[in-house]
Structure 1
Amino acid sequence: MRIPLFVAAICAIIVTGCQSSNAVQVYILAGQSNMEGQGVVDLDHPSHYNGGKGILKNVMAKPENRERYAHLKDANGSWSVRDDVFVRFRNRSGVLAGGLTIGYTGYGTPTGRHHIGPELQIGHQLGDATEQPVLLIKTAWGGKSLYKDFRPPSAGGENGEFYQKMLTEVQEALDNIDTEFPALAGRPVKIAGFIWFQGWNDMYNDKAREQYEDNLVHLITDVRAQFKNQRLPVVIGELGNGGPQAGKNMLTIRAAQKAAAARRELGGNVSFVPTTDFARPKEDSPNVGHGHHWFGNAESYFLIGDALGEAMVKLKK
């Protein structure tokens, strides 16, 4: 596949800045709806949100959780906003860009922030471990498969529309970094890692399941080639919905994700992160009918993000 000129340009910009000690550390977060973020923050309608069970506001109020979640609120009791970690996500309502806080999800708007995704705790983990500023570029769309929608060039067949959209949105974010993130204006950038959290849609297609391991290896290979870094750290989040007990199709995807991370041709620097332990019962969650979205349980999304971020930090050491 011929590399578009804009992608070639972005690679040149990044390589030029990689040597600088003050480069913005850019992490690409990609996947489908669970990377978009479905964890409920503060919606507690008795019928629509199960009375607020499993929402972030209530999870962090539990005595056993207060210390671990304390950083999410500032001294005034408002949601904290980091000035060293930034997020950029284009959803259906437009671009959300700013300091790390709640609300960078598919439902988010500048004035309506009621959900979280893995990015929240990924950002805190990376920000706490990094001296340079961090920028998370989220590129996620619900209902998309690796087999078709994210299909990378080296997998053969028709290139996935959302593979290209992922690259386009990374380019868009970097093109607009000076205006959307004034605090980062003029600084070089470095693509520092890639985090993948996806798999649901591939469960329902025989060929998608059969090819998932190979397609994921191709995705990692192509992303690394795109940004001219064959050792780019990559973290794969397990399709852990529902916990350890799962049907055959889901177990197939989980096994493929784990196997892909260990594939010799990737040369290491890839981490597979189990997530099944972070599943919570629907009875203790706000969206009791949304098993595909971890029942909207904010604790699940917090813990997933924490584990994905921790894994990336370990790869960077």
Structure 2
Amino acid sequence: MEKKSVNTPGIGLLGILITILLFTSFTPKGPAPLKVFILAGQSNMVGHGEVEKGDLGNLNYLVENDETGAYPHLVDEKGDWKVRDDVFIYFNHQEKIHAGGLTVGYGANENTIGPELQFGHVVGDHYDSDVLIIKTAWGGKSLAVDFFPYGDLTDIKPPLAAGDTGYFYGQMISTVNEVLGHLEDHVPSYEGQGYEIMGFGWHQGWNDRINQEANDAYRENMIQFIKDVQKDLGVPKLPFVIATTGMSGWSETHPRALSLMEAQLAVADFPEFIGNVKVVETRDFWREVEESPADQSYHWNRNAESYFLIGKSMGESMIDILEP
């Protein structure tokens, strides 16, 4: 189609203005860098909140009986589980990669959820740019051994297999780097606009909670873990949010359980972390067996509301750090 000159006779003032608007050259801003969040931990970060199983406390029940307005964003106009096209997740679970738009089913299996679901909605709603969540979690892992941040210590042999000190710390870091090196494979909209590692979420503690030596060392191990992650990912002030192991709620009386939660809460008081590390108190999110899909205290009785609220609070705390 032939372009008309601005001086074309008969085009009129309105035509001139339209032509100027159409053909004046502006340099558009490039797409914003991808926002990347990392979620890590053991089985409760893997996620055992039931979507369908059980009479009470599963996600279906919560959505269908919602009187608080907390859950409508999880379903579309047809009543199907909504899949976000601006928040993506990568989770390599049991040697099988689960990746795609954020929705239910990124827990231990396609019928479960973990904290990632509502965490993803919170951070996704906050940012205009796309979000990627990299989840690195394995059941039955301790901070004292499996996730031990071996750093530059020379008295620990290189972790070569599961069971070696620091093995899953290494797996976590290598997974993150692998995904970041192939973002175009996991985020359909990624076109080389770059990325920012925005924050790190941690929900773990059961294996250290049941071992006195690990329990006693938890705060110091967590402090070193945060420092090493920040160093190894190249983000010196990477924000951290820790969700406590609040299973059994405020009625918990076991000394090791209480001391581990106290250790987790105390991490935020470490002078170097003030304002950059937050700890979510999760005991309010405990739901009793009678209102849950299962009698499994170490997995929050498999109650979807517990996992939903953990993710929600972690996401809100993360935004509080990033946007104080």
Pick the TM interval, shorter chain: 0.7 to 0.9
Who is 2:284 aligned against?
Answer: 277
Check if 1:55 corresponds to 2:58. yes
Shift of 1:171: 1.6
Q: For residues 248 and 216 of structure 2, what CA distance do their matches in structure 1 show? A: 22
Tell me if 1:263 matches 2:270.
Answer: yes
Contact 1:40 1:114 in 2 (8 A): yes
- Comparing 90-99 with 170-179, greater Cα deviation is found at 170-179
Which blocks of at least 5 consecutive residues in structure 2 are unaligned? 1-29, 157-164
In structure 2, the CA distance between the partners of 1:172 and 1:64, relative to structure 1 (3 Å rule), is same
1:83 pairs, out of 82, 85, 92, with 85
Deviation for aligned residue 1:155: 8.7
Corresponding residue for 1:197?
203
2:81 partner SS: coil
Alignment of 1:217-296 (within 5 A): 217-246=223-252, 247-288=254-295, 290-296=296-302
Shift of 1:203: 1.3
Shift of 1:180: 2.6
How far residue 125 of structure 1 moved from its aligned partner, in angstroms, is 0.3
- SS state of the match for residue 64, structure 2? coil
Q: Which residue of 2 aligns with 1:151?
A: 148
> Which secondary structure state, in structure 2, belongs to the residue aligned with residue 53 of structure 1?
coil
Give the counterpart letter for 1:57 in structure 2.
N
Q: What amino acid maps onto 2:237 in structure 1?
A: R
Q: Normalising by the residue count of structure 2, what TM-score does the alignment of the two structures yield?
A: 0.84
Q: Distance in 2 between matches of 1:121 and 1:76?
A: 20
Q: How does 1:96-115 map to 2 (within 5 A)?
A: 96-107=98-109, 113-115=110-112
Q: Secondary structure at the match of 2:141?
A: coil
What letter is aligned with 2:134? I
Deviation string, structure 1 residues 19-42 (Cα, Å, up to 9, x no partner): x87111111100000000000001
- 2:35 is aligned with what amino acid? Q
- Equivalent-residue separation in structure 1 for 2:104 and 2:181 (angstroms): 24
Q: In structure 2, what is the equivalent of residue 7 of structure 1?
A: none
Q: 1:21 to 1:99 in 2, by over 3 A?
A: same
Residue from 286, 295, 309 that aligns with 1:303: 309
Aligned to 2:181: 175
Q: What whole-Å deviation, never above 9, does each CA across 1:144-166 have from its counterpart, x for those lacking one? A: 00000000024955351000000
Selected match of 1:39 from 49, 52, 60: 49
Aligned to 1:131, the other structure's residue is in SS state coil
2-side partners of 1:33 and 1:100: how far apart?
A: 19
- The structure whose residues are more often helix, as a share, is 1
C-alpha separation between the residues in 2 aligned to 1:144 and 1:98? Answer: 26
Q: Contact 1:92/1:106 (CA < 8 Å) preserved in 2?
A: no
What's the RMSD between the two structures over aligned residues? 1.5
- State how far apart, in whole Å, the 2-side matches of 1:250 and 1:165 are: 27
Contact persistence 2:49–2:107 (CA under 8 A): no
CA-CA distance at 1:279 after TM superposition:
0.4
Structure 2 letter corresponding to 1:35: M
Report what 1:136 is aligned to: 133
Q: Distance in 2 between matches of 1:206 and 1:154?
A: 23
Q: Is the 8 A contact 2:242 2:264 kept in 1?
A: yes
Letter in 2 for 1:190: E
Pair 1:21–1:312, CA change in 2 (3 A) = farther
- Displacement after TM superposition at 1:62 (Å): 1.4
Structure 1 segments (4+ residues) deviating >4 Å: 154-157
Q: Is the 8 A contact 2:268 2:274 kept in 1?
A: no
Using the size of structure 1 for normalisation, the TM-score is: 0.86
Residue from 207, 222, 242 that aligns with 1:216: 222
| Count of aligned pairs between the two proteins | 284
Residue 121 of structure 2: aligned partner = 124
Shift, 1:186, TM fit? 2.0
Q: CA deviation at 1:244?
A: 1.2
